Amino acid sequence: MDIELVTCECCGLKEDCTQDYISEVKASFDGKWLCGLCAEAVRDELLKGFGGQEAMKVHMAFCRKFKANPAVRVADGMKQMLRRRSGDLSLSSESSASSASTSKKFGRSESTSHK
């Protein structure tokens, strides 16, 4: 089994995948390779009634809005997907402020010297 590093055409996340898996994903998305989260987001757009190409364009536009690293975009996409599924699409400044304070509270601490 050959493993290949492939980049999501929506969010830019890189993953090591088998050639068979890459081919399977590309067959499902008009020759484009999407990470698991982006593939799920495109499927959600399909459920809303968008066509295949249109669903992909909608999600790719969403991904282009954010200029953070791919891991942050994946987390934001996951958050959006969970909100959609729970029916809460509103983003209030209160939840954004809460998110910011939470990230500060649980941020990585300075590393100590190793012996």
Q: Please tell me the distance from the alpha carbon of residue 46 to that of residue 10, in angstroms, as a whole number.
A: 16
Give the residue among 32, 103, 107, 44 at the shortest CA–CA distance from 78: 44
108 has a pLDDT exceeding 60: no
Residue 3 β-bridge partners:
18
* Contact indicator for 84, 43 with CB cutoff of 8 Å: no
* Contact indicator for 35, 13 with CB cutoff of 8 Å: yes
User: Does pTM surpass 0.75?
Assistant: no
Task: Quick: pLDDT tens for 12-55.
Answer: 889 999 999 999 999 999 899 999 989 999 999 889 888 888 88
Dihedral pair phi/psi, residue 3, rounded to 5°: -105, 135
Residue 86's pLDDT band, with cuts at 50, 70 and 90, is: confident
CA 71 to chain CA centroid, Å, is: 8
Instruction: Read off the amino acid at residue 76.
Output: D
CA angle 20/21/27 to nearest 5° reads 90
